[in-house]
Structure formats: structure tokens, C-alpha cells
Amino acid sequence: MANEYKAEQIKVLKDLEAVKRRPGMYVGSTGPRGLHHLVHEVVDNSIDEVLAGYCNEIKVIIHSDNKVTVSDNGRGIPVDEHPDYKKSALELVMTVLHAGGKFDNKTYRVAGGLHGVGVSVVNALSSYLEATIYRDGKIWRQTYSRGKPTSPVEIVGDIDEGKTGTKITFAPDGEVFESIEFEYDRVARRLRELAFLNAGVSIEIKDERFAREEKFKYEGGIVEFVKHLNKSREVVFPDPIYLQGEKGDVQAEVAIQYNQSFILDIFAFVNDINTQEGGTHLSGFKAALTRAINDYAKRTENKESILMGEDIREGLTAIINIKMPDPQFEGQTKTRLGNSEVRGIIDSIVYEGLTRYFEENPSTAKVILQKTISASRVRLAAQKARELTRKKEALGGGSMPGKLAACSEDDPEKNEIYIVEGDSAGGSAKQGRDRKFQAILPIKGKIINVEKSHLVKVLSNTEIKAIIAAVGTGIKEEFNILRLRYHKVILMSDADVDGAHIRTLLLTFLYRYMPDLIKQGHVYIAQPPLYKVTNKNKECFLYSDAELNRLREKLKDDKIDVQRYKGLGEMNPEQLWKATMDPQTRTSYRVTIEDAIEANELFSMLMGKDVEPRRKFIEEHATEAELDI
């Protein structure tokens, strides 16, 4: 019978079959994220050799056929026979999940990959993989296909006795991944980050497809990392403050520098893993920073006033880099450190280090103190402005902006709000929408650039205030995702340069003031059509020149009628609904933040005060631009 459920229905997946059946469980997805995760897993094995003190060179090559080679000068994966499994240790590591040297805290006291699944997962998801090991005066090699050995572990040559290392070459499985095209910038970004976090280690990347190559080596480590993050900003003092210490098994280093922006950037790492959700190390750092600056203020300036943490962190760029055995990760994405003892350790290292630094560098300490006092005054002014706004809203009988066309559905999970450029397009959207679940908020012109403006000025902007009120979550420290009124916040602007600028300004505001709205997948970009094409009384919408050219080629008829849309306002309500708002036919893109550090750099460079990095970016990418005439 079809509904029978007996022992024979229980399937046991052998070897790496589980990985091949459910690749997303192991590498995140079968899209670009999962594809690039393969490179990260192999590189992380080399980094573990760095952390153990046996490796200082890593090389990554993206070949012309989209194979990738990762090589290092570490100890080399053992090749001798395992006493229990009667197989080469190399074959065990490459073909068995949870096989590795990271479980006894002896071979690797500190490691990023703690689950022993990394390289075996890469093997399972590769149509071809070759492992070459340099050790014991010999070159050893074994090849695989989709996780299964296709040759024995064999000696293929001799080397100098002192040479050691591992070289892995793999070809991602085209039957698993949506695309096997690697992105150079994406790989290089992670390698550069690892070079910053491991001072003195040389990491090279070469792309044979485009003849691109770079070498990352930072003797200054995270000090240079902070300088890199602040390269598009005006800094308050030239050299970052560097603190380090070790207590028990925990090693910690911290680099901090203030800039003249109003943005806070703290990135915390544990064993080279970016703990995007923070954790005990971040809590310890914040507590120590606040206490150290307040103590200095009481000694030198004002014995009465207490500076808030948010005042002290305004304009701060900081890197926290922890190395420790057995980190316990928790949180939605398993990227929040949970070890309770770490908070006290980091608190002690940072507080003692900063107190000593302030005493030895009074001029820098005074500059930091004056900046935080100024931030405190502005915060209080912003607080009064917000309170005044709330009172006015209360007297007016409601807090919703007058231009908002609300929807009738009460369930936020079903609701969506369109933030629409221009009153004309807003009017069409209001008429064309489904009033049950779609709300419309028209905004006028370009909103304020929050990257260059303080909170007081931001909160006085009419359009910003309308967005904050409509979304409902609040901003910054007051942000609460449970108050979100619409689970889809959709940005809809014209498909031209001005529309792209408005969209960038809106994204900058959301990224800086409501980042969790993006991180939790609630922000979308509507894709309005460029053309309406009519042929024999049938019409369709096209979203690119390439689509139009394909249609012309298919029909082989110049009798089609083509209407080019210059703006959303040119579409009547029925067209706007069909082309951009009907869930059945519309095209929209979810905004994600896969790399918070890269997103931060991009927003700072494109929207910040410093013109030179922006000019350089435009010059480098000018040939990629498409003219909109």
C-alpha cells in the first residue's frame, strides 16, 4: 500500500550521498553563494594551518575552465594508513564526513572549521577533484569524482625533504550548481579579509580567465584593516589604536579609529569567522569602551555627566579579532558567539589597554572625548526633536503620513508597501494596486543622503519621517522588527539614472538605520519595464534592450509597435499593475547583504564625503556603464 511505513522504507545514505542529495544544507545554496562557499571551505583548511603556526603562504588560482586550485605551504594532509580504518588518512579526510584533525584540540588548538565536513563536502559536490600532498620527501596524489576515489593514493614524484604543503584542484559539479562561473571579486574579498586577520600571511589570487592577480599581505594586520575601512572617510586621528592580550586559551586583538562620519562599524571575528550577530566578545568590548571613556571624562573634563554607549560609538570603526579553542556559536545563522567567559576577558583586555593608552596619549584621548561629548549633545537634541514630533502626531490623532494609502489587511505577513518615486507614479500606483494587501507611499524627489548627515538632520527630512512612520519598526537602537507593518518593503523608481540614484539613497538609509530589515529579507526592488511592445493587438512588457532584440529576432517583423517608458508616470494604473505590481506577473529582486563589510565599504565610498575614491571607482568601471539616452 502507498501509505505503508515500515523498516524497509528507512533509507541510510552512505558515504557522501547525503551531501549530494541536500547540498544546500552543507554549503548554503546551489546558487552563487554555495558555489563560492566551496572555495572558502578549502581555503579555511589552509588557514587552520596558519592558525596552528605551520603555514604562511596560500595561493588560489581560478583556471580558464572554472576549475579552482588552492595550495599552501602547511604540513600537508597525512597520507599514512589509519590504524582503525585501514585506509590512507588522505582518503578518509576527502571522502568521509566528520573526519579530520580538529576534534582533539591537539593537532589544531584553534580552528575555524570545527565540524570536519569542509573538504569532503567540496569533494562530494565536484565532478573532479585532485589532491596533491607534499611531505616526507615525496609528492602524493589521489583523484576523485563526485566524492568517490578514481585512483589510489600514490607517489608521483620526489621533492626536497623540507618542502611540505597541500594542493587541492576541483571542478564544481555543473549538475548541482546553477552556474559554475566564479566571481573574481567575491573570492578576492574573502582572501583579503583573511590576510588582514592573519598578520604577515601572504595570500595570492590569480584569475587565468581575465589575467587578473593580486597579492594580499598585511604586516599590520587588523590595524591596516581599520585603515582600509576608513579610506573613504575623514579620520579624527591618523593611526588606529591597537590593543592585544591573552587570558587562558583566549587570544584577543582590537583595533579602533574614529572618523568624522556618524556611522558605527564594528566587525567581530572568532577564528577568522565573521560573527555577524555579535556575541559575548562584542558585549565585552562595548562595555569596556564605554567605561574607559567615561572614566577618562570624569578624571579630566566633567565629573558629573555620563556619556551613553551610542555617543561613544558614533563614528567608530573597530575590528575585534579573537582566537580560541571550542567557540560556541548560536543565533539564527550560528554566527553569534555564546561563550560566557569571553565577555569578561575582552572587557578586561580592552579596558586596561585603553586606560593605559589614554594616559600615554592625552592628545588623542582628548580628541575622542570631545567627539563623544559633541555626539551626546546632538543625540539629546535629536531626542527632543523626536519627542516633539510624537506630541504633534498624538495631537493630530495618528502617526501615519498623510500621503500613505494604507491597505485593509491586518496581517503584516501578507502586506506589502511600495515606496514610489514621484506623486504622478504614486497616483497611478494607488489606483492600480490591490487595496487589500498593497499600501502606497509616494515620496517627492531625492531623499537626504544619510551617509553625510547627522541624525537630527535626517529626522527633520519630511520623506524620511514618512518612511519611518509607515514601516513602523523605528530606527537604530529603537528598531524592533516585531513592529513591522509590511513584510515586503518594495522600492519602485524609474528605470533611468535618476531612478537609480533615488533607489541608492533609499537603500543607504535602510542599510544605515534599519539594517535588520534587509538582513531578514524584507526589502525588495521593483523592476519597471523599459518597453511596451504591441503586435497584432497583443501587448507585452520588456525589461531590457536584450529582450527587445530577442523578440525582434524571433518575430522577424519591424511592424511591431514599441513604446519606450521614460518613467513610471507614463504608465496608466492598469499597465503599472500588470507590469510591476501584480504578484503573478511582476519582476522584483530581494535585497540581501551577503558581505556586510563589502556593503559597508561600497556605501561609504559611493555616498560619503570623500570624492577621490568615488572618482577612482567611476574611472575603473566607466566602460561597464550603459548609456541611457
500: number of Cβ within 10 Å = 13
Contact 506, 491 (CB under 8 A): yes
**Catalytic annotation present for 249:** no
**Beta 488-492 vs 523-526: how paired, if at all?**
parallel
Residues 6 or more apart in contact with residue 112 via CB below 8 angstroms = 44, 47, 48, 51, 271, 272, 273
Half-sphere exposure of 553 (CA within 13 A, CB side): 6
What cell does 542 get? Answer: 520588456
Alpha-carbon span 163 to 170, nearest angstrom: 23
Find cell 534592450 and name the residue. 545
* CA-wise closest residue to 609 among 420, 452, 386, 390: 452
For 530, counting Cβ atoms within 10 Å of its Cβ (0-12 exposed, 13-18 middle, 19+ buried), the class is: buried
Q: Which of 310, 498, 570, 598 is catalytic?
A: 498
* CA-wise closest residue to 118 among 134, 131, 100: 100
Q: Which of 49, 272, 494, 601 is catalytic?
A: 494
Output DSSP code: residue 406: -
Alpha-carbon span 532 to 241, nearest angstrom: 58
- In sequence order, the β-bridge partners of residue 564 are 531
Q: Which of 311, 421, 451, 601 is catalytic?
A: 421
Alpha-carbon span 488 to 591, nearest angstrom: 11
Give CA 594 to chain center in angstroms.
Answer: 3
Alpha-carbon span 606 to 601, nearest angstrom: 9
Contact 419, 485 (CB under 8 A): no
Alpha-carbon span 27 to 126, nearest angstrom: 13
What cell does 421 get? Answer: 518615486
Alpha-carbon span 490 to 486, nearest angstrom: 10
Alpha-carbon span 197 to 253, nearest angstrom: 10
Contact 275, 335 (CB under 8 A): yes
State which amino acid sits at residue 499.
G
Alpha-carbon span 355 to 282, nearest angstrom: 18
**Catalytic annotation present for 44:** no
State which amino acid sits at residue 287.
A
Burial 267-288 (b: 16+ CB within 10 A, else e): bbbbbbbbbbbbbbbbbbbbbb
Contact 114, 104 (CB under 8 A): no
**Catalytic annotation present for 494:** yes
Q: Where are the beta strands (DSSP E) in 173-325?
A: 202-207, 212-216, 241-247, 250-258, 265-270, 273-274, 316-323
Give DSSP secondary structure letters for 183-217.
-HHHHHHHHHHHHHHSTT-EEEEEETTTTEEEEE-
Residue numbers annotated as active site: 421, 494, 496, 498
